[in-house]
């Protein structure tokens, strides 16, 4: 099944294709891991998109694109799908380099309608008849960018079809059988034709002052449908429809495409559709690792406690002790470990949905009011709140703690999710303090430090579990590093965060006496310690799972330059100025040339 031409298929045949697609997704994701429940729920909607629109010409725009697996399977990637999220294989998101059917790189939410507006503008300027079609989930509708785009779209009236994949909650609950009947009527050709005739008649025969009264009947029907919000923004609304009824989907999308203006098609779907164990609102089936298809049991790779779990347990302990601790996450309660605190202290910890900017600014106000906020967000998502970090937290010098989860290479999610930029984009902001623990106990000490810190503070920690180290952790003091090992040879390894364990592992592979420093803080740097070590060691090597540009090595070089220290030969093993592809972390690091074994060869060649 390399190329599936669905436009000539019957409804019965399309239903079978939907089942084949689900079987393939379950087969591959159970082995490789990936986004699961959302993509299973979008199968029929995706088939409908491909039946009515042309993916080779009409821009197919998937918000987040975590639900794009059916789209991949319908566009010449059936056999290759077995490489999903593997190094050198298919991405788990849309990727134009992978297929011309993928319009845009995606991975973060709430950008799709803005992309569609831009595409529609370009199409109009080119004089073409293509129509952008968007699939966006109800969760993505919580972000402000969506409404910025809808506001312009409703004003400009570009032809855009937006499929609202409502798989978790209604935008507004319909009112029984009457609303269901009216929704079907609104989706029908009779109603749409009637509306066009009424609009044309009003324009020709009625002065502007009577238009409002003449349309009261039509508007009164919509008052008891869920689409009022969108209609008020100037965007036609159809729905809700059954997002698993292929015939209904195709009929509705055909109507929407031919309307020649912006339309939202509201489709109700079930997450995990076709795999009973995952059906419904189960967050842990959103993104999964490998699992047994028959039992639904996940295949665990490690029993070690993850850094996220360490953070969650420690923050809960401190929140029980200190009532002024509050916290927020943006749609990732279980992923960040904040779900436990939300359940126990629902008045003090919140999930504000996909709204990182709001999360940051709201916690700034809480800090102003004397509370101690912990903002718990993945590194790759924190950049979405950058302006608010600068303007609302750091400018005010408010004691907000940013708990940066998934820092470093995260593996299979790839370019859009690698958490390698946070040091670079936070380090230059005045008043910001940056620290990173080297192991689980150090993370607990870092959280304690964050609570006592009187300025904005960012604590970064990796995905998965820390390595157990031979060096006992010590409490954190502002700007104070820790020399773990002195040495006779002229080599100093400087580790930051989980880079400390890589420095130790690398040192153990070299037949030399190597000094090891746990930097602890990249801002402020331990100036006194570094200048002291510059008199003892001249060959410095930097270990940090971050981008080199603006990273740890850059910070140290700046200090050495300011202090006119010229005898240091510094090499950093941070990441090059590239977007890092997806794949198992070990495979990715090998491709980047930064495994301990590869680093040993580089150092040996330099000696």
Which residues are annotated as catalytic?
271, 356, 384
Residue 582 CB-density burial (10 A; 0-12 exposed, 13-18 middle, 19+ buried): buried
Q: Is residue 67 within 8 Å of residue 35, measured between CB atoms? A: yes
DSSP output for 103-125: -S---SSS-HHHHHHHHHHHHHH
Q: Is residue 489 within 8 Å of residue 583, measured between CB atoms? A: no
DSSP output for 331-365: S-HHHHTTHHHHHH-TTTEEE--S-HHHHHHHHHH
Q: Which residues contact 173 (CB under 8 A, 6 or more apart)?
A: 226
Q: Is residue 355 within 8 Å of residue 143, measured between CB atoms? A: yes
Quick one: DSSP state of residue 393? I
Q: Is residue 484 within 8 Å of residue 472, measured between CB atoms? A: no
Cis amide linkage into residue 4, ω under 30° from 0: no
CA-to-CA separations, 115 to 125, 135, 316, 488, in angstroms, rounded: 16, 12, 40, 58
Q: Helix count (H) and strand count (E) of the chain?
A: 25, 19
Question: Residue 369 and residue 372: Cα distance in Å, rounded?
Answer: 9
Q: Which of 423, 426, 403 has the alpha carbon at shortest distance from 328?
A: 403
Q: Is residue 134 within 8 Å of residue 110, measured between CB atoms? A: no
Q: Is residue 41 within 8 Å of residue 272, measured between CB atoms? A: yes
Tell me the Ramachandran region of residue 309: left when phi exceeds 0, alpha when psi lies from -120 to 50, beta otherwise: alpha
Which position has the token pair 């037949």?
511
Q: Which residues contact 384 (CB under 8 A, 6 or more apart)?
A: 108, 356, 357
Q: Is residue 392 within 8 Å of residue 449, measured between CB atoms? A: no
Question: Residue 423 and residue 546: Cα distance in Å, rounded?
Answer: 7
Q: Which of 276, 184, 202 has the alpha carbon at shortest distance from 238?
A: 184
Tell me the Ramachandran region of residue 184: left when phi exceeds 0, alpha when psi lies from -120 to 50, beta otherwise: alpha
Q: What number of other Cβ atoms are within 10 A of residue 603's Cβ?
A: 21
Tokens found for residue 48: 């409908």
Which position has the token pair 């950058």?
386
Question: Residue 596 and residue 607: Cα distance in Å, rounded?
Answer: 16
Q: Which of 423, 471, 475 has the alpha carbon at shortest distance from 444?
A: 475
């Amino acid at each position: 099944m390399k190329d599936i031409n669905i436009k000539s298929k019957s409804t019965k045949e399309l239903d079978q294709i939907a089942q084949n697609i689900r079987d393939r997704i379950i087969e591959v994701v159970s082995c490789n891991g990936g986004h699961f429940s959302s993509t299973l729920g979008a199968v029929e909607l995706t088939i409908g998109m491909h039946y009515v629109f042309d993916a080779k010409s009409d821009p197919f725009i998937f918000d987040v694109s975590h639900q794009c697996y059916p789209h991949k399977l319908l566009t010449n990637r059936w056999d290759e799908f077995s490489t999903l999220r593997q190094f050198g294989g298919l991405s788990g998101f849309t990727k134009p380099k992978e297929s011309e059917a993928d319009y845009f790189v995606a991975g973060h939410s709430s950008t799709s309608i803005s992309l569609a507006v831009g595409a529609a503008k370009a199409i109009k300027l080119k004089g073409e008849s293509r129509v952008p079609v968007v699939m966006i989930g109800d969760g993505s509708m919580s972000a402000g960018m969506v409404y910025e785009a809808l506001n312009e779209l409703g004003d400009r009236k570009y032809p855009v079809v937006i499929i609202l994949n409502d798989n978790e909650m209604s935008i507004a609950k319909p009112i029984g059988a009457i609303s269901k009947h009216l929704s079907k009527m609104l989706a029908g050709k009779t109603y749409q034709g009637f509306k066009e005739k009424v609009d044309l008649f009003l324009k020709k025969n009625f002065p502007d002052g009577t238009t409002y009264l003449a349309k009261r009947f039509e508007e009164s029907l919509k008052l008891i449908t869920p689409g009022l919000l969108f209609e008020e923004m100037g965007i036609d609304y159809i729905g809700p429809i059954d997002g698993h009824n292929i015939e209904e989907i195709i009929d509705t999308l055909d109507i929407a495409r031919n309307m020649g203006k912006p339309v939202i098609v509201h489709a109700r779907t079930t997450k995990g559709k076709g795999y009973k164990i995952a059906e419904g609102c189960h967050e842990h089936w959103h993104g999964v690792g490998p699992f047994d298809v028959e039992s639904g049991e996940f295949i665990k790779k490690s029993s070690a406690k993850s850094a996220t779990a360490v953070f969650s347990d420690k923050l809960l302990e401190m929140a029980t002790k200190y009532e002024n601790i509050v916290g927020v996450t943006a749609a990732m309660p279980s992923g960040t470990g904040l779900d436990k605190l939300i359940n126990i202290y629902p008045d003090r910890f919140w999930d504000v949905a996909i709204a990182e900017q709001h999360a940051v600014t709201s916690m700034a106000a809480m800090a102003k009011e004397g509370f101690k906020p912990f903002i718990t967000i993945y590194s790759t998502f924190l950049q979405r709140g950058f302006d608010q970090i600068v303007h609302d937290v750091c400018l005010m010098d408010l004691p907000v703690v940013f708990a940066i989860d998934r820092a470093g290479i995260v593996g299979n999610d790839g370019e859009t999710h690698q958490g390698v930029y946070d040091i670079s984009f936070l380090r230059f902001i005045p008043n910001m303090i940056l620290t990173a623990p080297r192991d689980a106990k150090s993370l607990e000490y870092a959280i304690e430090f964050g609570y006592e810190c009187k300025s904005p503070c960012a604590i970064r920690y990796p995905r998965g579990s820390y390595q157990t180290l031979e060096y006992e952790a010590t409490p954190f003091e502002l700007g104070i590093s820790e020399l773990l090992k002195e040495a006779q040879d002229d080599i100093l390894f400087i580790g930051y965060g989980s880079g400390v364990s890589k420095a130790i592992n690398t040192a153990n592979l070299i037949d030399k006496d190597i000094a090891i420093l746990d930097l602890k803080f990249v801002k402020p740097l331990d100036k006194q310690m570094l200048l002291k070590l510059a008199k003892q060691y001249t060959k410095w090597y930097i270990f940090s799972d971050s981008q080199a540009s603006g990273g740890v090595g850059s910070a140290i070089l700046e200090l050495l330059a300011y202090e006119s220290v010229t005898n240091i030969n510094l090499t950093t093993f941070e990441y090059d100025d590239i977007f890092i592809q997806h794949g198992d972390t070990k495979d990715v690091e090998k491709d980047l040339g930064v495994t301990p074994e590869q680093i040993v060869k580089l150092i040996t060649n330099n000696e």
